[in-house]
Amino acid sequence: MNKFNYLIIGNSAGAVGCIEGLRSIDKKGKIGLVSEESHHVYSRALIPYYLDGKIDREKLYYRPLDFYDRAGVTLFMGKKAVTIDVEKREVELSGGERLGYGKLLLATGGKPIFPPISGLDKQNVFSFHSYSDLQGIEETLETAQNVVVLGGGVIGLMAAEVLKRRGLSVYVIELADRVLAPVLDETASRLVEKAFQKAGVKIFLNNTIQHVHGTHFVESLTLKDGSTIPCDLLIVGVGVAPRVELVEGTGIEVKRGIMVDKTMQTSVPNIYACGDCAVNYNFVTGEIQPLPLWPNAYLGGRTAAFNMAGVEREYTLGTSMNAMHFFDLNIINAGLNVTEKNAGNWKIVQCLDESNNLYRKFVLSDDGALKGYILVGQINRAGIFLNLMRRKIDVREFEQELLDENFGYSKLPAQLRWQLLKEDVILGVV
Amino acid sequence: MGKILAKPEVCMGCHLCEIWCAVAHSKTKNIIKAFNYEKSKPLPRIRVEENLPVTFALQCRHCEEPDCVAACISGALTKNPETGAVEHDRDKCVGCYSCVLTCPYGNIFINDESRQIIKCDLCAGLDSRYCVSHCPNEALVYVED
């Protein structure tokens, strides 16, 4: 039986974060990786860019082709991990092979959610998640005219944008009364909707698919409001759910996702989890929740790696965050999404220039700490806000400066500024 | 790896570091040709922050644990294990702006023309670090580890 010091189940951002973390401190330990898909590690997040023609197939790869060789990783490609024996510390693969582990990382990712609508099993229905989705979409696009995207979230809208740019008629169907409702407020949603309208994408709000028409292929759809739209390609982009089937019956605790502590260890010693299959600590809310985002997967994997190799580290930098661009509109958000409906008692500092599609909104707690923000139109230097939020800096003294498009460290009070930049500047020379 | 450090007290806010950074990353490396004749507008990867009388210039800090590399969805941003530099591969960058979202210094910039990002490469392949060597008041210095 093959035995590994470190065994990784999964082959995306979390796995790579773990391998790079491991190899930064342990050059020798044996690493094994089990991947259900047989492709070299690729980035799901690049699917829209590929369909947009911005990159070719080769550039879907997230790391160079020799990455695993150079990192000394033994690959088990096209194999599915079926069970974990937590007592014997073994994983069984499809086909019966067993692999022993010292430390195990579960980076099994998420699976696209398909709402319970009958007819979503037809041949021209795809999610926007995997290499095989991409291949199916590409084939279908050869003859498609009308594309329907179910879901007006980040993934759905990215799909809608690139398909519109390919000259297709695109319809987006969203259950909520606005797009991107989980991550943006009403004002920002409106600006995004406007961008799509201008581009000629039809968005149906407060709506969903009532009936799917067609035998083997979807031909048209009847919506909840009674309208009927033609459909040659249906993309389901309503989100992902953690893939946790591997841990069922193992005693590893699951609560919305595989439960982990801040070191990314599960409830069973020597077993770690990260990425879309796991939960994350949200430093803004203090809650443990799924945060299915690329940086969280990578950093969760990297943090797990250090702990797996015996160097204690915690991952406490995760929260909800997105960088988005739709047509000419750039958007960044992070932290709490405070809307008109859940305004609460937060202090809001904001400015809106609707005609120029510029919007900035900051959410402050009682003690002046940043709890969330939305930037629309101008996103330069946005990371500074994430840094201020992570460090729980009291921003009240300069809160109006946050609205300045040229915000930077120079706008902070001197003492705070030089404290934050102490590694970067030399003071006291005159 | 060394680091470029700023001396805010002697920075005059002349922005020449931005100018020469743009030249360093132009095709011709010639200030006149770069600004007058090159098709793509030369852009700096360093930013002078101003809140008069305070001025200082910062560029990518090539962090030990770079958030931008962790966030990069395409593999365009990597930390070179030998030099420690955070490197950007233009061929791979799709302009997702995850690095803009996460850079704690706000020192990764958007090239509006290409919609990709631009960042300091420590003048890799050039004979000097242009922002340092062209600063008239030595307000930028390169300090070896």
The answer to whether position A337 is within a domain reads yes
Q: Looking at beta carbons, which residues of chain B come within 8 Å of A332?
A: 97, 100-101
| A344 pLDDT more than 90 | no
Task: For residues A322-343, give the mean pLDDT.
Answer: 96
Please tell me whether residues A105 and A246 are part of one structural domain.
Answer: yes
* Side-chain-side CA neighbours of residue A410 (13 Å): 21
Task: For residue B43, give how far its alpha carbon lies from the nearest alpha carbon of chain A (Å).
Answer: 14
Of the pLDDT bands very low, low, confident and very high (cuts 50, 70, 90), residue A429 is confident
Query: Mean pLDDT of all residues in chain A?
Result: 97
Task: For residue B106, give how far its alpha carbon lies from the nearest alpha carbon of chain A (Å).
Answer: 4
Does B23 contact A at CB distance below 8 Å? no
Give the model's pLDDT for residue A218. Answer: 98
Give the model's pLDDT for residue A228. Answer: 97
CATH at residue A33: 3.50.50.60
Please tell me whether residues A127 and A145 are part of one structural domain.
Answer: yes
Does B55 contact A at CB distance below 8 Å? yes
Please check whether residue A384 is in contact with residue B102, taking contact to mean a CB–CB distance below 8 angstroms: no
d(CA A254, CA A231): 38
- Residue of chain A with shortest Cα separation from B67: A295
Give the model's pLDDT for residue A186. Answer: 98
- pLDDT tens digits, A241-260: 999 999 999 999 999 999 99
The answer to whether position A217 is within a domain reads yes
Please tell me whether residues A245 and A300 are part of one structural domain.
Answer: yes
Give the model's pLDDT for residue A343. Answer: 85
Q: Please give the single-letter amino acid code of residue B12.
A: M
Of the pLDDT bands very low, low, confident and very high (cuts 50, 70, 90), residue A103 is very high
Please tell me whether residues A97 and A132 are part of one structural domain.
Answer: no
d(CA B117, CA A285): 31
The three-state DSSP-derived secondary structure of B26-76 is CCCCCHHHHHHCCCCCCCCCEEEEEECCEEEEEECCCCCCCHHHHHCCCCC
Q: Looking at beta carbons, which residues of chain A come within 8 Å of B3?
A: 424
Q: Contact A383/B100, CB-based, under 8 Å?
A: yes
The answer to whether position B34 is within a domain reads yes
Question: Domain range spanning residue A186?
Answer: 114-236
Q: Contact B104/A322, CB-based, under 8 Å?
A: no
Q: To 10 degrees, the CA torsion angle through A124, A128, A130, A134?
A: 50
- pLDDT tens digits, A23-37: 999 999 999 999 999
What b-and-e string marks burial along B88-115, b requiring 16 or more CB atoms within 10 Å of the CB? Answer: beeebbbbbbbbbbbbbbbbbbbbeeeb
Give the model's pLDDT for residue B145. Answer: 80
The answer to whether position B124 is within a domain reads no
Does B12 contact A at CB distance below 8 Å? no
Q: Contact A294/B9, CB-based, under 8 Å?
A: no
* Side-chain-side CA neighbours of residue A379 (13 Å): 33
Give the pTM: 0.96
The complex's ipTM works out to 0.97
- Per-residue pLDDT in tens (0 to 9) along chain B, 145 residues: 789 999 999 999 999 999 999 999 999 999 999 999 999 999 999 999 999 999 999 999 999 999 999 999 999 999 999 999 999 999 999 999 999 999 999 999 999 999 999 999 999 999 999 999 999 999 999 998 8
The answer to whether position A428 is within a domain reads no
Cα three-residue angle A61-A62-A67, rounded to 5 degrees = 90
Task: For residue B132, give how far its alpha carbon lies from the nearest alpha carbon of chain A (Å).
Answer: 14
The answer to whether position B110 is within a domain reads yes
Q: Contact A321/B55, CB-based, under 8 Å?
A: no
Task: For residue B91, give how far its alpha carbon lies from the nearest alpha carbon of chain A (Å).
Answer: 8
Please tell me whether residues A248 and A227 are part of one structural domain.
Answer: no
Question: Domain range spanning residue B70?
Answer: 63-119
DSSP percent split of chain A into helix, strand, coil, nearest 5:
25, 30, 45
CATH at residue B42: 3.30.70.20
CATH at residue A415: 3.30.390.30
Does B36 contact A at CB distance below 8 Å? no
d(CA B33, CA B38): 6
Please tell me whether residues A16 and A102 are part of one structural domain.
Answer: yes
Of the pLDDT bands very low, low, confident and very high (cuts 50, 70, 90), residue A309 is very high
Of the pLDDT bands very low, low, confident and very high (cuts 50, 70, 90), residue A5 is very high
Q: Looking at beta carbons, which residues of chain A come within 8 Å of B58?
A: 409, 421, 424
The answer to whether position A314 is within a domain reads no
Does B110 contact A at CB distance below 8 Å? yes
Burial class (CB in 10 A: 0-12, 13-18, 19+), A161: buried
Q: Looking at beta carbons, which residues of chain A come within 8 Å of B101?
A: 321-323, 332, 334, 379, 382-383, 386
Task: For residues A175-182, give the mean pLDDT.
Answer: 98
Task: For residue B82, give how far its alpha carbon lies from the nearest alpha carbon of chain A (Å).
Answer: 12
SS3 A279: coil
- Give the best residue of A390, A426, A427 to mutate against chain B (max B CB count within 10 A): A426
Q: Please give the single-letter amino acid code of residue A354.
A: E
Give the model's pLDDT for residue B28. Answer: 96
d(CA A25, CA A22): 6
A–B CB contacts, 8 A cutoff, strictly below: 131
Task: For residue A50, give how far its alpha carbon lies from the nearest alpha carbon of chain B (Å).
Answer: 9
Does B67 contact A at CB distance below 8 Å? yes
Give the model's pLDDT for residue A276. Answer: 98
Cα three-residue angle A345-A347-A348, rounded to 5 degrees = 120
CA-nearest of B144, B50, B55, B49 to B105 is B49
Please tell me whether residues B1 and B54 are part of one structural domain.
Answer: yes
Percent of chain A with pLDDT over 90: 98
Percent of chain A with pLDDT over 70: 100
CA-nearest of B141, B70, B132 to B104 is B70
Please tell me whether residues A99 and A14 are part of one structural domain.
Answer: yes
Give the model's pLDDT for residue B79. Answer: 96
CA separation, residue A326 to residues A162, A169, A178, A184, A359 (Å)? 9, 16, 15, 14, 15
Structure tokens at B59: 């560029």
Give the model's pLDDT for residue B129. Answer: 97
Please check whether residue B116 is in contact with residue B90, taking contact to mean a CB–CB distance below 8 angstroms: yes
Q: Contact A46/B73, CB-based, under 8 Å?
A: yes
